[in-house]
Each structure stands twice: as C-alpha cells, then as structure tokens.
C-alpha cells in the first residue's frame, strides 16, 4: 500500500476533506517521514490517535505570515527546533558559523533561526495571540530548567519562559504527546496537568509537593547553587523513583516539572516503528537534491533507546534516561525485510543500534522496579556486580538479519561500549562483530587516558581500553583480518589540564597512533560536564574542577594530541614549557617535538609509522601492546601553578 505524506499545503488539507488541521507541526528540519526523525514519529502517533496534523517545516521566520499558512488550527501548534539543538547545529565549539545543514534541502545552511524554538513560538504568538503551543524535541527538553548557555555565556531562563509556550514535553514524547493533545482537546483544565508525565508547565504559585530547586536568580548568581540544582535535576531524571520539581523563574512564575514518562514496553516501541512512514524526504525537496541527513539513516534500524553508560558529557541521560528500551527481534527483522524491498537498497544495512548498540536490556532487574541507582553508575568506575552482561539476543538478531535475502552485509556503526564487551566472558559477540559487522575499522570512545580526566568523564580506566585493544587485535589475527581500531579522543574536557594533555600525547607517542581528527569538549545544555564547565565544580562532590577556558589553552591541548603536525609544533613547545616539560622538546626518541632550531630529524623508531590512524592496522604489534611503563610518570606530574 502506498503511504501518503501528511499535508504541507492548504490545498492538501482541503483534499483530505479537512476545514482546518487540528495541529500545525512547526519544525526546524526539513520534512523527512522516516522514524529516525522525531517529527515523523510524533506526527504519525497523533495521526494514529485520530488527530489531523499539517506539517510546516523550515518556515521563513522573519515575520509571522508563514505561520498563518493553514489558518488558525483547531487545537494548536506543535513546535520543535529539530533533531539537533539549533545552536549546536549552527555553530562549532569555537563558535564559528557552520556553512551547511544536513537537515535542510541540499544541505543549505541558514534556513532556520538561532534558538529556533523560541523564534518560532514568538512568531506564532504574533499571528495568534492566545493559541495553545506545545514544544518538544532536544532543544526544548535540555533547556527546560534555568540553564547555562555556552553561546551567550550566561544562565538563561527555562525555554518555557522565553518561548511563551503553553506546555513543554521533555524526553521521548510518544506517550506525553497524545495525553497533551487530549488535554488541549478537552479544554485545558489546569487541574489535570499534574497527572501528565514527561511535561513542564508554568504556574503562578509554587507547588509545595515538589522538590524545590534554587530559583533562577539564585542559580544565575551563585555557581554552587547552580551545581546543586543541576545535580537534583540529574538525579530525579528517573521514571521509577524521580520526583516532581519546582523552580522559580521570576517574581510570580514557577516552572513545574512532572515525573518522566515511564519506559515504553517492547510492544509499544515496536508499534512506534511500524507506523506508516513513507521513509523518504518530501518530494518538494527533490529539485534541491533532497535532505543529506537521510543518507545516514535510510538503511539503518533503530533498535534501542536510553543508555546506562552515563558519560558525563552526553545528554542522553537527561533526555532518554538510563533505562534501556528495546524493540523485539521480530520487529527488527520485519524492518530488515522492509529495507530489502526499498528501491535504492544495495544489499547493505548500515546500522543496527541506538545510543549504545550493544545495550539490549536494562542494566539489572532493579532498574524496572526501583529505578536506576541514584548515586551509582552501572559501568563506572567498574561494572556493577548486579549488572546483566549478555550479547546473546543481539548476536541472534544480527545472524538473522544477515541471512535475509538480498542482504550482503549488516554493519554496526552506533556506539559500542567496549568496557561492556570486556565484561562479557563470552567472546562470541566481539568475534562475530569483527568477522561480519565492521568494514575494516571499528570506532570506539576511550576519550582520554588520564585517570583524573576519565573520572570526570565517567569513563573506564586506560587499562580497560588497552586490554580491549589487545583482545581486538588477537581476534582479528585469528580471523586472518587486518582491521583498524579508531579511538575517539577529546581535548579540554573539565579536569583536563596541560599535564593531562601531555600524558595523552605521550600515550599516543608510545602506541604509534596519531589521530587525524580531534574533538574539543562542547558545553551543550543538559550535561554533567557542562555544569562542571560553567561552575568549575563537580556537582557530585562539590570539589573544584580545572577548566580550560581560553582559546589558547584549548588550542594547546588540541595541538598536543596532534603533536606530529608541523603546524602544531610551536604551540606544543609552548605548552610543554608552560608545564615545565622541556625534557619532551628535542631530538631524542622520547621527545614530542624538535627544538626551535632546525636540524635533521633522525629516522622514526621501528613501528612508528608515518601513516595516518586510518591507515595503521590494529594488528601491528606496536599498536596493540600496552604503552611502556615510562609513560606512567606523566600521570604523577602536577599542574604548574598559574
């Protein structure tokens, strides 16, 4: 049966026999009716619930006229900035404007405004003063409380205040969107708001049944209070044990957050992905070359949600939560068969995963009964003794997918927790991963090697990564394969000073790995690391945390990770001298960079290839073995006082 897009013009609304739509869905992404796009899921869920939805994607925002395209909707507007926070979408970590937007026609940049949710809502208010507006998506979800904004370098009010929206839906909104739509349709009784999970709303009075957070005024003036308030928000982001929260925004307005939505059952999550998506961008974008973002996910299968890895710099904990929700093998196989029937299918399923591809079940039985532990992590500093470790179901799913007719290869490109793999006593998954599910290289995320930086990141110790490198190399050798291991590494994360960056550089020197790309820490809303960045405190302990803030400090840490590049060597020398590590400047094999004076450099050590990281096989002995003991002294070096 041929699936239809939802209407995008008044003419299409009329063709369906509607006088006006119930809701107009305003989105900062182009209209792609694929389940990897939040607006596709939410609009299809509303359609299934019997509501009439018209799509207004990437509207011109310079005046209010674009928001009157369908007239005043019967019930209200739904507003989202899109799949990515609009400020992250627009700016690099150096706050430089990006020229492209993968979620716009032809990848053209500049088609949505900065702070898109706020701008869209303000334009709607100009057009229709009292129409109900429901906001959601990542931008709204992560900015629901008073929050530090990296681009303004200040604490901003809740996005509910700045947008003037009626309700905010946070997290994954399949349940809350229908309840909120029903609430609007039933007359918007304020007394009923308290029963809807997964929403925030404004009140003229404080709700004394909630946990009271420090006010906006307090958190914007006192960094310790900000850290305390954030920790409470973070700890209560649990659907089982989480409590309602209240934060005063100004003299007579209070933000109320209800408990998070309960996890979807397998049957409910399966139903979400079996809605009648066209799985294409709207044909109106054909002449511009379509929507680039679809290429990454067109032949991928989303199998899970949530992540109990709890990396400090990741917003998934604050948005999707720590309790894993997964689709049934039957549903995943059904989608696999569907992909093989699509006209552009070439035999390759590009990904089977989610936030963490190898998490298929809650970390332990306790999570579904009592919630995730409030003051403990499942994997850090070591795997919890109560954690279930098994890849059996995932192995079975992958075997069935790759046995489907027309399927040549099934890849896993979502993140994999290598510490979870190492905790599994059965090596079958890693062996099958190497043999069948990577295309020459595997990307994992150790992020750093310095113990005190890894502690702030919530990542396992370097010894776990080194053991994984050796195991990966050994399995590939047994299989007769030369495959690469590409680690993601991060510079300037809170806690990382020059000594930590030097320790990482020495590790790279000793292992012979030289990254061709480096990611600076990006302080995005809703993460524990962003709280550390702003306050200079670890909210879990209230102890001070070093933060590299100046562009030069960040540049030096980044340069140290790519110390071999001639363009970086002046900065590396400066960093080493500031840290009192002149011993690493010279022609000796232990040195990172040569001195300023020119001299012919000796031939590189055996195993120190001039090839890039992407060219160096992990099975090379120099790469796979643990670093020499001499590098341990860098961990003991103390930061130079400033």
Q: Domain containing 572 — which CATH number? A: 3.30.750.200
Buried b / exposed e across 71-97, counting CB within 10 Å, b at 16+? eebbbbbbbbbbbbbbbbbbbebeeee
Q: Can you give the pLDDT at residue 212?
A: 98
How many angstroms separate the CA atoms of 410 and 351, rounded? 7
> 350 and 411 in contact (C-beta within 8 Å)?
yes
Q: What is the C-alpha to C-alpha distance for residues 216 and 154, in angstroms, rounded to an integer?
A: 12
100: left (phi over 0), alpha (psi -120 to 50) or beta: beta
Identify whether the C-beta of residue 303 lies closer than 8 Å to the C-beta of residue 326. yes
What pLDDT does residue 214 have?
98
| Phi-psi map region of 116: left, alpha, beta (phi>0 left; psi -120 to 50 alpha) | alpha
Residue pair 43/270 in contact by the 8 Å Cβ criterion = no
Q: Taking phi first (over 0 means left), then psi (-120 to 50 degrees means alpha), and beta for anything else, what does residue 503 get? A: alpha
Q: Name the domain count of the chain.
A: 2
Does residue 269 sit in helix, strand or coil? helix
Q: Is residue 311 part of a domain?
A: no
Q: Which two tokens stand for residue 235?
A: 């700890």
Tokens standing for 240? 């089982």
DSSP letter, residue 134: E
Residue 528 lies in a domain: yes
φ/ψ (deg, to 5) at 538: -85, 110
Give the integer Cα–Cα distance in Å for 152 and 149: 6
Q: CA 401, CA 405: separation in Å to the nearest integer?
A: 9
Query: Low-confidence residues of the chain, pLDDT below 50?
Result: 1, 606-642
Residue 101 included in any domain: yes
Q: How far is CA 283 from the centre of its chain?
A: 29
User: Are the beta carbons of 156 and 115 closer than 8 angstroms?
Assistant: no
Q: pLDDT digits over 429-442, tens only?
A: 999 999 999 989 99
Query: Of the residues 180, 199, 218, which one is the last residue of a structural domain?
Result: 199
User: Which residues on neighbouring strands pair with residue 245, listed in sequence order?
Assistant: 211, 257
Task: At 370, list the tokens.
Answer: 């009592």
- Tell me which DSSP letter residue 419 carries: H
What pTM value is reported for the model? 0.91
- Among residues 137, 167, 199, the one where a domain terminates is 199
What pLDDT does 600 receive? 54
476 burial level (CB within 10 Å; 0-12, 13-18, 19+): buried
CA-CA distance, 564 to 188, in Å (whole number)?
63
Residue 156 placed within a domain = yes
H-helix segments, 326-461: 329-340, 365-370, 392-402, 418-423, 428-436, 451-457
Tens-place pLDDT, residues 209-243? 999 999 999 999 999 999 999 999 999 999 999 99
Give the CA distances from residue 7 to residues 43, 71, 78, 365, 625, in Å, rounded to whole numbers and listed in that order.
11, 14, 15, 44, 58
Confirm whether 625 is domain-assigned.
Answer: yes
Q: Dump the DSSP string for 498-513.
A: HHHHHHHHHHHHHHT-
Residue 585 covered by a domain: yes
Q: Strand pairing of 154-156 and 76-80? A: unpaired
Q: Are strands 76-80 and 133-135 parallel, antiparallel or unpaired?
A: parallel
**pLDDT at site 604:** 53
pLDDT score of 635: 34
- For 76, the enclosing helix (H) or strand (E) is strand 76-80
Pairing label, strands 348-349, 253-257: unpaired
Q: How many CA atoms lie within 13 A of 340 on its CB side?
A: 16
Structure-token pair, residue 275: 């809605």
Out of 143, 165, 199, pick the residue that ends a domain: 199
The total of other beta-carbon atoms located within 10 Å of residue 197's CB is 17
Provide the domain limits for residue 33: 10-199
State pLDDT tens for residues 612-629: 333 344 433 333 333 333
CATH code of the domain containing 108? 3.40.50.2300
Identify which of 205, 209, 206 has the alpha carbon closest to the alpha carbon of residue 195. 209
Assess if residue 213 is contained within a domain: no
**Domain membership flag for residue 447:** yes
The CA radius of gyration of the chain, in Å to the nearest whole number, is: 26
Question: Pairing state of beta strands 133-135 and 147-149?
Answer: unpaired
pLDDT in tens, 549-601: 999 999 999 999 999 999 999 999 999 999 999 999 999 999 999 998 765 55
């Amino acid at each position: 049966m041929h699936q239809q897009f939802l209407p995008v013009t008044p003419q299409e609304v009329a063709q369906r026999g509607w006088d006006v739509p119930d809701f107009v869905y305003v989105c900062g992404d182009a209209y792609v009716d694929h389940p990897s796009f939040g607006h596709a899921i939410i609009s299809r869920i509303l359609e299934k619930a019997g509501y009439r939805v018209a799509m207004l994607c990437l509207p011109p925002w310079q005046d209010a006229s674009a928001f009157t395209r369908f007239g005043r909707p019967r019930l209200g507007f739904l507003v989202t900035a899109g799949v990515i926070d609009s400020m992250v979408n627009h700016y690099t970590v150096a706050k430089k404007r990006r020229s492209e937007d993968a979620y716009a026609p032809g990848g053209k940049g500049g088609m949505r405004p900065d702070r898109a949710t706020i701008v869209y809502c303000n334009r709607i208010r100009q057009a229709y003063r009292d129409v109900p507006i429901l906001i959601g998506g990542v931008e709204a979800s992560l900015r629901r409380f008073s929050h530090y904004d990296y681009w303004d370098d200040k604490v901003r009010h809740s996005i509910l205040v700045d947008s003037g929206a009626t309700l905010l839906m946070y997290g994954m909104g399949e349940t809350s969107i229908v309840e909120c739509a029903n609430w609007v349709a039933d007359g918007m009784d304020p007394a009923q708001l308290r029963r809807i999970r997964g929403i925030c709303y404004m009140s003229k009075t404080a709700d004394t049944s909630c946990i009271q957070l420090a006010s906006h005024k307090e958190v914007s003036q006192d960094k310790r209070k900000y850290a305390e308030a954030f920790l409470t928000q973070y700890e209560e982001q649990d659907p089982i044990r989480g409590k309602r929260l209240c934060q005063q925004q100004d003299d007579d307005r209070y933000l109320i957050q209800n408990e998070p939505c309960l996890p979807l059952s397998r049957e409910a999550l399966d139903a979400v992905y079996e809605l009648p998506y066209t799985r294409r961008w709207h044909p109106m974008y054909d002449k511009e070359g379509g929507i680039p973002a679809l290429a990454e996910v067109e032949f991928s299968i989303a199998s899970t949600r949530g992540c109990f890895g709890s990396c400090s710099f990741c917003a998934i904990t604050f948005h999707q939560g720590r309790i894993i929700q997964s689709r049934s093998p039957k549903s995943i196989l059904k989608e696999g068969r569907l992909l093989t029937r699509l006209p552009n299918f070439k035999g390759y399923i590009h990904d089977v995963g989610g936030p963490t591809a190898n998490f298929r079940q809650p970390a332990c039985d306790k999570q579904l009964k009592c919630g995730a532990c409030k003051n403990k992590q499942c994997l850090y500093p070591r795997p919890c003794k109560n954690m279930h470790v098994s890849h059996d179901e995932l192995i079975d799913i992958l075997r069935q997918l790759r046995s489907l007719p027309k399927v040549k290869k099934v890849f896993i490109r979502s993140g994999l927790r290598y510490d979870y793999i190492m905790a599994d006593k059965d090596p079958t998954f890693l062996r099958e991963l190497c043999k069948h599910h990577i295309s020459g290289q595997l990307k994992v995320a150790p992020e750093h090697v310095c113990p005190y930086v890894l502690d702030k990141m919530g990542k396992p110790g370097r010894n776990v990564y080194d053991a994984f490198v050796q195991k990966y190399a050994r399995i590939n050798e047994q299989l007769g394969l030369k495959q690469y291991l590409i680690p993601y590494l991060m510079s300037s994360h809170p806690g990382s000073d020059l000594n930590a960056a030097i320790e990482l550089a020495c590790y790279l020197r000793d292992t012979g790995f030289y990254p061709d790309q480096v990611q600076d820490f990006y302080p995005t809303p809703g993460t524990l690391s962003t709280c550390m960045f702003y306050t200079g405190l670890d909210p879990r302990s209230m102890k001070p945390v070093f933060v590299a803030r100046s562009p030069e400090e960040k540049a030096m840490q980044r340069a140290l990770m790519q110390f071999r590049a001639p363009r970086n060597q002046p900065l590396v020398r400066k960093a080493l001298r500031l840290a009192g590590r002149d011993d690493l400047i010279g022609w000796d094999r232990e040195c990172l960079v040569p001195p300023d004076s020119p001299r012919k450099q000796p031939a590189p050590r055996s195993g120190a290839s001039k090839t890039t990281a992407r060219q160096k096989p992990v099975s090379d002995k120099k790469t796979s073995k643990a670093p020499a003991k001499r590098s341990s002294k860098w961990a003991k070096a103390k930061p130079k006082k400033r």
